[in-house]
Amino acid sequence: MLREPILKQQRNGLLALALASAIGLTACSGKDDSATPGASMTETSGNVNPTTEQESPASFREFLEEAYAADMERYPLTATYRGIKTNNDKWNPVSEPFQQETRELNQARLQQLGQFDRERLSPSEQLSYDLYKLNLERQLSSDEFRHHHYVIHQFRGPHTAVPSALINIHRIADRQDAEDYIGRLRNVARYFDQVISQMAIRTEKGLLLADWQYPKMLESAQNVIAGAPYDDSDTDSTLWEDFKAKVAALDIDDQMRQALLDEAETVLVNVVKPAYQRLIAAIAQQAQAASEDDGVWKFPEGDAFYAQRLRWFTTTDLSADEIHSIGLSEVERIHDEMRSIMQKVGFEGDLPAFFDFMREDEQFYYPNTDAGREAYLTEARAAIDAMRERLPDYFGLLPEAELVVKRVEAFRERSAGKAFYQAPPKDGSRPGIYYANLYDMADMPKYQLEALAFHEGVPGHHMQRAITVMLDDIPEFQKYASFTAFTEGWGLYTEELAKDMGFYEDPYSDFGRLAMELWRACRLVVDTGIHSKRWTREEAIDYLVENTPNSLGDSTRAIERYIAMPGQATAYLIGKLKIMEMREKARVALGEDFDIRDFHDEVLKDGPVPLSILEKKVDAMIERQAG
């Protein structure tokens, strides 16, 4: 056995390094003890050496649990998201010393992992071993390009992450939670200073965003510090409104309530506002050197970075050219299926004319009013309720957590994506949330409503994530592993599964399902087009408008997302195609003994996995059931 548990060694190593440093580098990626240097041990400068005498750890599971607990200390916002109140007043660090420390810690953990004899582990532990090893290797490989990653962009970044996390993640159930909320407000200053430092590194290396991205970031950041108490407005700012509402619901005396409100107001005005102003100034300054080019091919080693992003997100070795070719082929296939829908509804004209009809006819859209938005949310909830009734026929594992449907908040709706999902924590303190972006109802047609609700809700991401978080027989890290092709491939797979389950009875709704799949096929074309083939933003937008029924606004926002997040959008269809391939393989191999519930449970029961491991899991299932 190791002489000390791994977690204790990791904590002691961090502590020793922190004490050795005359200055307390404690900044976190969103929470900060700016008033108390050195108060947090979540960030240090120096080497991490968890142990000097390497013996066999007590157990493999203990090693994983202790490493996970150490990570939750190092990433406080992530811990909050997962229902763990560790350093609940701080943010995840983004500073250069922290990133170097993380690399050294991952190298040490990879070495520690080698102490275990994989062959002596149980089959489930062997899977955990493979996933943990792969996860460490992926992170170390990605670290080579860490400065190529945008620390802030118009689609997602600290400027919107701060209010989004405090409003949607940081719950206030008691006085301590409220004080932690204020602590996070106070620590915005150090967090943003770290972000600004990271921006400076990217400016020096020429790793800049495109010029059109900066005004969008500036607008979103300004929105956060608009309203009371930042100015004399009669309207509360989004954070002030949130904090007041949460504190109002606390069971505390009026004197304590007022003290909390007074302190929060002071911090908002004297800490948060100046921090945002510094960030806004840094964004404006970097904008002066912005690039006119859109793809990451413009970066030094841009092609190698994009290849790494494709491997990361698809969990395959497919090249940009191969992915582009798959996309073109899938676009052609789906266009042919859409022509069949055209014949079914009696439309006279070609496919581009049908696209125009679907974009422009008012019958397919709710009014761009609050009433129209509420009607959309009501219908989405009804679709999810109808789906819930049929789940037991197709799944053995079912989610326990509640699922709610919400509109994306006003402060971020102009820059946020079309729809997304937020998973519940293990403790059940929050529901799973399907967010629909209803800023412009022209971007949210009725005929796509079902497919979108099934993708983000059930049997899509909520089914997947709410089940995974409740699994007791897998290590905690495994529940939150990041394999986008699996996660988003599942979401897209369930859109087609819903047709097998009897949904999309209206031909136009079935067209909407195809339109959603077409959208993901086009992503393979435009993402590789932008980042590998040097397409411009305008060329990519034109491709979507010409080849999909989506609006110009929808197409524009999508392309701007793909530019900000290179490679991510390719994972959806690549993952879905693999899941469909595996299902067909199992169906053919097992014949009459094939049970789709067994297949779905096998896919979901171990949490997110790369596509290669998913294939091995399904092959093992086939072998077991074939006897």
Residue-wise pLDDT for 516-571, tens only, equals 999 999 999 999 999 999 999 999 999 999 999 998 988 999 999 999 999 999 99
For range 62-66, the mean pLDDT: 96
How large a percentage of the chain has pLDDT more than 70? 91
Please check the confidence at residue 56 and state whether its pLDDT lies above 60.
no
Please check the confidence at residue 342 and state whether its pLDDT lies above 90.
yes
Rounded-to-integer distance, Cα 529 and Cα 543, Å: 10
Residue 576's pLDDT is: 98
For range 433-461, the mean pLDDT: 96
Q: How confident is the model at residue 55 (pLDDT cuts 50, 70, 90)?
A: very low
Amino acid at 458: V
Which residue, 532, 500, 9, 530, is CA-closest to 308? Answer: 532
Residues near 468 by Cβ (< 8 Å), separated by ≥ 6? 479, 604, 607, 608
Peptide bond into 459 cis (omega under 30): yes
Residue 46's pLDDT is: 34
Tell me the whole-structure pTM to 2 decimals: 0.87
Q: Which two tokens stand for residue 121?
A: 């582990």
Please check the confidence at residue 25 and state whether its pLDDT lies above 70.
no
Please check the confidence at residue 30 and state whether its pLDDT lies above 80.
no
Phi-psi bin for 607: left (phi > 0), alpha (psi -120 to 50), beta? Answer: left
Residue 58's pLDDT is: 52
Residue 155's pLDDT is: 87
Please check the confidence at residue 372 and state whether its pLDDT lies above 60.
yes
Q: Which two tokens stand for residue 504?
A: 């999309």
For range 576-596, the mean pLDDT: 98
Question: 535 and 526 in contact (C-beta within 8 Å)?
Answer: yes
Q: 411 versus 419: which is more confidently predicted?
A: 419
The chain-wide mean pLDDT, for the chain, equals 90
For range 245-258, the mean pLDDT: 97
Q: 31 versus 107: which is more confidently predicted?
A: 107
Which residue, 213, 25, 198, is CA-closest to 101? Answer: 25
